[in-house]
Chain A
Amino acid sequence: MDWLGLNNDHKLLRDDIAGFAKNELEEDVLEFDKEYKFFDSVWKKAAGMGLFGFMLPESVGGADMDAISLALCIEELAVVSPSFAFAVAVQNIGAYAIEKFGGMDNKADIVKDIVKGLKVALCMESICKLKCNDDRTQISGTSGFVVNGDNSKYCLMFASCAERNTYLYLDTADNCEFHKENEIIGMRSAGIGKFEVKPYAISDKNFLQPDEGEIEYLLKICVSAVSTGICAGSYNVAIPYSKERVQFGRPISKFGMVRRMVSEIEENARISRLLTYDAASKFRDGDRLAPYIASVTARDRAMVCGDRAVQVLGGAGYTKDYPAEMYFRDAKTLEALLYSAEEERELIGKIITD
Chain B
Amino acid sequence: MNFNLTDDQKLVRDMVREFAEKELRDKAVEIDESREFPHDTLKKMAPLGLLGMVVPEEYGGAGMDFVTLAIAVEEISRVCASTGVIVAVQNTLAEYPILQFGTDELKKKYLPDMAAGKKIGCICLTEPTAGSDVAGFETTAVLDGDNYIINGSKRFITNGTEADIMIVFAYTDKEKGYHGMDVFVVEKDFPGVSVGKHENLMGIRATGNCEIVFEDCVVPKENLLGPPGEGFKTAMKILDVSRIDIGAQAVGIAQSALDEALKYSKERVQFGKPISSFQFIQGMLVEMATKIEAARLLVLQSAFLKDDGAPRFSLQSSMGKLYAATIAVECARLGVQIHGGVGYTKDYPIERIYRDAKILEIYEGTSEVQKIVIARALLK
Contacts and interface: CB of A to CB of B under 8 A. Distances in A.
Interface of A: 34, 126-127, 144-145, 181, 183-186, 246-249, 252, 255, 257-258, 303, 307, 310-311, 314-315, 317-321, 325, 328-329, 332-333, 335-337, 340-343, 346
Contacts of B363: 315
A346 B280 contact: yes
A329 B203 CA distance: 11
Contact of B336 (A246, A315, A332): A332
Given A126-B340, A319-B199, 19 more contacts: A183-B346, A185-B344, A185-B345, A185-B351, A185-B355, A247-B130, A247-B133, A248-B133, A248-B136, A249-B133, A255-B368, A307-B329, A307-B358, A315-B362, A320-B201, A325-B202, A332-B333, A335-B336, A343-B280
B126 interface: yes
Nearest to A194: B345
Contact of B129 (A144, A246, A328): A246
A187 to B, nearest CB: 8
Contacts of B329: 307
Interface of B: 126, 129-133, 136, 155-156, 199-203, 280, 284, 329, 333, 336-337, 339-341, 343-347, 351, 354-355, 358-359, 361-363, 366-368, 371
B280 A342 contact: yes
Nearest to A129: B341
6 interchain residue pairs of minimum CB distance? A183-B346, A127-B341, A342-B280, A247-B133, A336-B344, A325-B202
A325 B200 CA distance: 11
B337 A336 contact: yes
A311 B329 CA distance: 12
B131 A315 contact: yes
A337 B358 contact: no
B273 to A, nearest CB: 15
Nearest to A306: B358
B340 A340 contact: yes
A332 B280 contact: no
Nearest to B135: A248
Contact of A329 (B155, B202, B280, B343): B202
B345 A183 contact: yes
Given A257-B371, A315-B362, A318-B202, A185 B341 contact: no
A1 to B, nearest CB: 38
